[in-house]
Structure 1
Amino acid sequence: MVMTESTGATRSSTPLPLRVAWGVLAAFLLLWDVFEVVKHMGWVIPGAALGSVLPFLARLTGLGRTPEPGRLAPRAVPLHNLLNLALIPFGIMVLFTFLGDAPEDIAAPFTFGMSWLTSIAFARALGFGLRTPEGWQR
């Protein structure tokens, strides 16, 4: 974890090759997201939009309570960490791949999960991720 005395943790110390891999995954998923939205339209659009912002909604529980820059309010950490686990949106994508009789049946929930995973991948590529119980970057 990168620490400074005055500002606390700002980004994780994830190795650069891993951050580049997250970035490549994020770029691929973003292109796939756009493809799915353009292809299916309809409910896929709000699903993709909700999936894109979902990992950041936990911050709303800590508004006005951040004691230091770079630190998330401790009460927001459990929800933040849950919404930033990559396995959950990946599991949604896998689950909905096998459900439904036609691509139109699964397009919205699948794209929701993919957009959620895209947001997580971009955050990880930029060095942001899960938090400690005190609200600092891990």
Structure 2
Amino acid sequence: MTSTTNINVSVKAPRTTATLLRRTAWLAGALFWTAFAVLEGVNHGWLAGTLALVFLVLPDLTFLVALDEAPHMAKGQLAPRAVPYYNAMHRALVPLALMALYPVAPITWAPAFAALCGWLAHISYDRAFGYGLRTKEGFQRG
């Protein structure tokens, strides 16, 4: 019985350590993208700073898609109608892909890059604090 307890503890420890390391990495990324967004705002003016701030908040405004259904949802549940919008705005690959295209795009606009930095900062903070994508029923995954 003691060996079973030791096995259970050793199985849980790496997952907790891995989770802590993953969240720490996301927090480092969040701080980086926040600093980059602030730098873009300072270097390119109020419009770049404003768009960075707007995109820092914008992904969570997807909750408004199904605000009328919110009173009928369980605690922590997002209305299923809002899930596709929420998940689309919380996938890091979307702003990363746009950032990769930015240098080769025919038109470059610094405020757009600042907005992408704000968007990535939001996603990174969410992951650092344990918030991720949602299931189709509206609950946090894993």
TM-score normalised over the length of structure 2 = 0.79
The residue that corresponds to 1:80 in the other structure is 86
- Structure 2, unaligned runs of 5 or more: 1-15
| In structure 1, C-alpha distance between the alignment counterparts of 2:62 and 2:133, rounded to whole Å | 12
4+ residue stretches of structure 1 with deviation over 4 A?
Answer: none
Over aligned residues, Cα RMSD in angstroms?
Answer: 1.9
1:92 pairs, out of 88, 92, 98, with 98
Mapping for residues 1-138 of structure 1, pairs under 5 Å: 15-66=19-70, 67-99=73-105, 105-138=108-141
Query: Secondary structure of the equivalent of 1:114?
Result: helix
% identical equivalent positions: 38
| In structure 1, C-alpha distance between the alignment counterparts of 2:134 and 2:64, rounded to whole Å | 15
Query: Secondary structure of the equivalent of 1:131?
Result: coil
Aligned residue pairs, count: 123
| In structure 1, C-alpha distance between the alignment counterparts of 2:60 and 2:117, rounded to whole Å | 15
C-alpha contact (below 8 Å) 1:97/1:110 kept by paired residues: no
| In structure 1, C-alpha distance between the alignment counterparts of 2:101 and 2:46, rounded to whole Å | 21
| In structure 2, C-alpha distance between the alignment counterparts of 1:96 and 1:125, rounded to whole Å | 26
- Structure 1, unaligned runs of 5 or more: 1-12
Structure (1/2) with the larger helix percentage: 2
Query: Secondary structure of the equivalent of 1:43?
Result: helix
